[in-house]
Amino acid sequence: MEHITIEEYFKPHRTNLLIDVRSPGEYNQGHIPGAVNLPLFTDEERKQVGTIYKQVSPEKALLKGLDIVGPKMSLFVKEIKKYSPDQVTVQCWRGGKRSQSVTWLLNFAGISANYLSGGYKSFRNYILNNVLTDDIKLIVLGGKTGIGKTEFLQKLKDRGEQIIDLEALANHKGSAFGHLGEPTQPSNEQYENILAQEIIQLDKEKRIWVENESRMIGSNPVPASLWVKMKKAPLLNIEVDPEIRYQNILRDYGQFTKEELTLCFKKIEKKLGSQNMKDAIDAININDLKSAINIATKYYDKTYEYNLTINTSPNKHFLLLPGDNLGIKTSSIIDYANRFIRFD
């Protein structure tokens, strides 16, 4: 049977439908972005087969697997045909019996199929040892809470710049309030997967913008290899008018309930101090969001200023962006980077 390597799978313009035949639990823990999960076994069935393999024999496990899969074969083929694929790549954990048997079945049913050599394990090895450790030309876009770094990233992308939006990939805005309005965060393993997928699609010879972040974005850590690169990369700190910061924060968080905002403030009570937390909650309860925002930003500003002093980047830049025209300010960022930021 034909098989392809993970490097071949990621070649530009390849459009294979990727079928992940692992159990739902395996898939949910981590999978190749874009893969469709059509499991041969449920989590319980996989456990049964594995137990027989270890406690009885591989032959008995194989027979048990066939008993389980046999009745599903017709449905499996019909389900894949719904996608009308020109080419299917089948993937399991190591590129073994599960993916090879399904590849045989699909070809027998008239569907052009191959399997991924090394399976999902080869993908993980590939991204951990190659993609996430690649040399890339990062520029870290920094600034205090509320200056609109995420907006600037998107505007930079609209202008043809390359970006990695770490917060969007993590479904979290990065603060104690960052989970509000966001979907459930991916597993740490899946966060690495989708981040690597983003990097694979970028041109490593051109600069890539990324937001200045803490190591943890909600529950997802920035991978160590990328974190080290961020700490060594040029850092461009931007400042905007305080009123714009307030309006940005109000837009992002002002629509949430008093209860939701109160719970977020309670998460940082030890850092704010009991009195500041009480004042913030009192302000929320009387709809004085400006006072609550001021209390939060004072804490986050101190944290940011401290982190700035210990940042190891040898190449720090500071840029004041007056006015409220996002397009003009984005042009100023690009112009500054073109003139002053160089890579060794």
CA gap 230, 224 in Å, rounded? 10
Same domain, 199 and 218: yes
- 68, 94, 129: which is the final residue of a domain? 129
Cα radius of gyration (the chain): 25
The answer on 279 and 210 residing in a single domain is: yes
Q: Domain holding 94: CATH number?
A: 3.40.250.10
Residues 146 and 71 in one domain: no
**Catalytic-labelled residue, pool 40, 90, 92, 169:** 92
Q: Are residues 321 and 251 in the same domain?
A: yes
Q: Which two tokens stand for residue 200?
A: 């694979």
The confidence score (pLDDT) of residue 255 equals 93
* Of the candidates 122, 258, 151, 282, the residue with the CA atom closest to the CA atom of residue 211: 151
Same domain, 104 and 195: no
Query: Which residues of the chain register pLDDT less than 70?
Result: none
Told to judge if 92 belongs to the known catalytic residues of this protein, a careful annotator would answer yes
pTM of the predicted structure, to 2 decimals: 0.92
User: Same domain for 222 and 324?
Assistant: yes
Q: What pLDDT is attached to residue 69?
A: 87
Q: What is the pLDDT, as a whole number, of residue 311?
A: 80
Q: How many domains does the chain have?
A: 2
Q: Which helix (H) or strand (E) holds 329?
A: helix 326-340
Residue-level pLDDT at 240: 95
Do 92 and 48 share a domain, yes or no?
Answer: yes
> Which strands, in side-by-side order, build the sheet including 3-4?
3-4, 113-116, 88-91, 17-20, 36-37
Same domain? 175 vs 37:
no
The verdict on 97 and 183 lying in the same domain is no
Residues 58 and 142 in one domain: no
Q: Domain with 170 in it: what CATH number?
A: 3.40.50
Give the domain range for residue 323.
135-340
Q: Which of 129, 164, 182 is the last residue of a domain?
A: 129
Asked which of 110, 129, 148 is the last residue of a domain, the reply is 129
Whether residue 270 sits in one domain with residue 145 = yes
- Report helix, strand and coil shares of the chain as percent, to nearest 5: 55, 15, 35
CA dihedral 84, 89, 93, 95 (to 10 degrees): 140
pLDDT on residue 14: 81
Running DSSP on this structure, what letter comes out for residue 127?
I
235, 316: one domain:
yes
**C-alpha–C-alpha distance, residues 123 and 120, integer Å:** 5
